[in-house]
Chain A
Amino acid sequence: MFETDFSSEAYLNMQLLRFTTAGSVDDGKSTLIGRLLYDSKSIFEDQLEAVERDSIRRGNEQINLALLTDGLRAEREQGITIDVAYRYFATPLRKFIIADTPGHIQYTRNMVTGASTSNLALVLIDARNGVYEQTIRHSYIAHLLQIPHLIICVNKMDLMEYSEETFNKIREDFLAMSAKLSIPDLRFLPISALNGDNVVHPSENMPWYTGPTLLHLLETIDITSDLNRIDPRFPVQYVIRPISDEFHDYRGYAGRVAGGSFAKGDHIIALPGMKESTIESIDLFETSVPQALTSESVTIRLTDDIDISRGDMIVKKGNLPSVNQEIDIMICWFNEKPLNPAGKYIIRHTSREARCLIREIDFKMDINTLEHNRKDLTIGMNDIGKIRIKTTQPLFFDSYFKNRITGSLVLVDEGTFETVAAGMII
């Protein structure tokens, strides 16, 4: 970060990688992030001074790097992470957004929050304890969220005499557990977050490990194919209709491309009306662009005056999403109040809002065995299960597997308006 011959051009051309931490409480997630920032020289002097000062004040013998992300008073008092902290750093190769998430089961919802926007997860395992229930829960959530890259960091190797055997044993255990999950890119790394082994610098204590360091992996893992660039989807967020003489007849559909691409001249269909039209122009501020790609925020104008409003979706002829009111989803439940099988919930899906009721609870996941429990169907806080819902209006969706944007939704409590569940469409 602190380069003297800084190049704006190089900075602008960097790729962005969003990653998250996961794993059981106290396995060393926050310490690892602190170490990563510290050893890559991404910490400012005043931040470091503050953390040194606060470490001494809290009676730590050495500087406690977890304080770099554990910023809340309650977190510092209890020595745990409660909510996600976001940190940013860049190396000459990439820019990173880190979500350091809590391991404590009570705060699983915050782990899911941090993980939902990530394309890579660091799963920490304490070398002394091995694979825990919470390790499995988080790995399973990462799998549900379709995070394509998982790096399993076997941490605290310093407390196990940097033993290769320990590392191999944990790797075997993890592989046995995760055989039921389909994780496209899985790596294992022995580290000491406390001392920095294999984080930014290769470990001198583990000559038997000859693979890349964590930072090297983060800088080089290929992430270009992580978005859906095939199926064109444009959820309409907002209709732009200026009331001015200059733009009297202007009517633009503002939104962010959720999949594929759109170009001027494309024949489109607007859901739910199934009306057809052609893209007249794709506007971006005072100019128009020939094409809009996945994740770009633009404004689309059509040749015909058809009725389109927020919550509708523009797609292309010959490539329609599913349109349905009965939907099977995997859910992660976040609220103390369990899922009410007779209740109604508000549902938010892309820019669309509807209400839904629960048709059926198919199973609850048994986290220890990763098996489907069909006997006990109460879905309480931190439970994961499969349900079928019926919505008041049709949703336009793809399976989460195909598209993380059009395949995801949240459930909102009608009384408190709290977000009570995350849903992934099957």
Chain B
Amino acid sequence: MTAYRINHLSELENESIYVMREVAAQFENPALLFSGGKDSIVMVHLARKAFWPQKLPFTLAHIDTGHNFEETLVYRDKLVEELGARLVVGSVQSSIDEGRATEESGFNASRNVLQTVTLLDTIEKYKFDVAIGGGRRDEEKARAKERFFSHRDEFGQWDPKNQRPELWNIFNGKKRVGEHFRVFPLSNWTEMDVWQYILQENIEMPSLYFTHRRKAFLRDGVWLAWAPFMKLKPSETVIEDDFRCRTIGDITCTGLSPSKADSLVDIIREIAATRVTERGGRSDDRRSEAAMEDRKREGYF
């Protein structure tokens, strides 16, 4: 027999599909958190592969900050239609209107943190017992500590000091009433793996990831997309240039990269040469040393 080996990308794919199937088997009412970003797009692709020719056994849930890139919504609706999937939208604006969340003010105001309230409300409203997220351990140091099956108490909180042991690929999704799980099938993927996979599988991506003309301004060394509701400091000026998004999230805190990459191959080349992480452009992580951990403890994605 010739020595065969499975390359690392297919090993990651096999692992993620396995995790998705465990979720479908162990839970009653799973949601797949769909943000319209590359990780959630890859998750949907993996879920299709995992259950083909059956429809996704998951409800897609979008936590909508109201500060979206228009294109994200178009992409989302088209995908939902193609899949014949069920979509529920949790709106941060409604959480604010109902007085359950308070809008931040000041220059760095963002609805990113508020998403936690809406996320937990959405989980409760639809009685989801598990929410599948696209978080990857290579994104951030608190995420690097996350299990595949991450247990949440009845307040949706993560207790990083007391996580369940997770051995081999045996996942324990058992929980008491009111508790739920977050599951991260892409835990072991890196940004490069995600793009390589998108290229290999020929997955259609929103054009925001490719170079386009955009109005933007520089803040604390990070390029931010300009939108009419954003407050500028006197020292900041809006310019127009070629940019692409390295991550897509809430418009107020998504960093842009100056880029001329207009194909997947270009993007991969750019990522291979880059010296900053993708979250280096996210102002939400820069707020303090443990910003991500604190948000996650409270129930963030």
Contact = CB atoms under 8 A, between A and B. Distances in A.
Most B C-beta atoms less than 10 A away, residue of A117, A241, A350: A117
Contact of B268 (A6, A238, A349): A6
B290 A73 contact: yes
Contacts of B231: none
Given A15-B8, A83-B161, A295-B11, A256 B18 contact: yes
Given A242-B55, A293-B6, A295-B11, A2 B172 contact: no
A9 B142 CA distance: 32
B165 A250 contact: no
A82 interface: yes
Nearest to A346: B174
A166 interface: no
B293 A71 contact: yes
Contact of B196 (A8, A69, A85, A348): A8
B160 interface: yes
Nearest to B275: A45
B280 A6 contact: no
B6 A296 contact: yes
B188 A86 contact: yes
A419 B172 contact: yes
B27 to A, nearest CB: 12
A88 B190 contact: yes
B172 A86 contact: no
Contacts of B165: 109-110, 112-113, 334, 410, 419, 422
B144 interface: yes
Given A88-B190, A256-B18, A417-B175, A237 B25 contact: yes
B147 to A, nearest CB: 8
B5 interface: yes
A14 B14 contact: no
A15 B11 CA distance: 10
Interface string A93-128: 001010000000000011011001100000000000
Nearest to A41: B275
Nearest to B271: A6
A176 interface: no
A243 B53 CA distance: 9
Interface string A44-88: 111100100010010000000000110111101000001111111
B275 A297 contact: no
Contact of A241 (B54, B188, B272, B274): B54
Main secondary structure of the interface of A (DSSP, over half): mixed
Nearest to A291: B4
Contacts of B53: 240, 242, 244, 246-247, 250
Interface residues of A, number: 83
Contact of B161 (A82, A87, A240, A412): A82
Interface string A347-359: 0111100000000
Contacts of A72: 141-142, 145, 160-161, 290, 293
Contact of B141 (A3, A71, A240): A71
A405 interface: yes
A412 B280 contact: no
Contacts of A112: 165, 167
Contacts of B111: none
B51 interface: yes
B119 to A, nearest CB: 22
Interface string B21-36: 1101100000000000
A296 B14 contact: yes
Contacts of A404: 168
B296 to A, nearest CB: 10
Contacts of A293: 4, 6
Given A8-B265, A112-B165, A113-B166, A2 B50 contact: no
B160 A6 contact: no
Report which residue of B14, B48, B54, B164 has the largest number of chain A beta carbons within 10 angstroms of its beta carbon: B54
Interface in B227-252: none
Given A256-B18, A285-B52, A12 B268 contact: no
B168 A6 contact: no
Given A14-B8, A297-B13, A2 B275 contact: yes
Contacts of B269: 6
A270 interface: no
A163 to B, nearest CB: 35
B180 interface: no
A422 B4 CA distance: 31
Interface in A407-426: 408-410, 412, 416-419, 422
B172 A85 contact: no
B18 A237 contact: yes
Interface of A: 1-4, 6, 8, 11-16, 44-47, 50, 54, 57, 68-69, 71-74, 76, 82-88, 90, 95, 97, 109-110, 112-113, 116-117, 224, 237-238, 240-244, 246-247, 250, 254-256, 283-286, 293, 295-297, 299, 310, 334, 346, 348-351, 404-405, 408-410, 412, 416-419, 422
Given A44-B277, A116-B167, A238-B51, 9 more contacts: A46-B276, A83-B163, A88-B138, A224-B3, A237-B18, A237-B22, A348-B172, A408-B170, A410-B170
7 contacts: A12-B9, A45-B280, A87-B137, A88-B190, A237-B21, A417-B172, A419-B165
Interface of B: 3-11, 13-15, 17-18, 21-22, 24-25, 48-55, 137-138, 140-142, 144-145, 147, 160-161, 163-170, 172, 174-176, 187-188, 190, 192, 196, 199-200, 265, 268-269, 272-277, 280, 289-290, 293
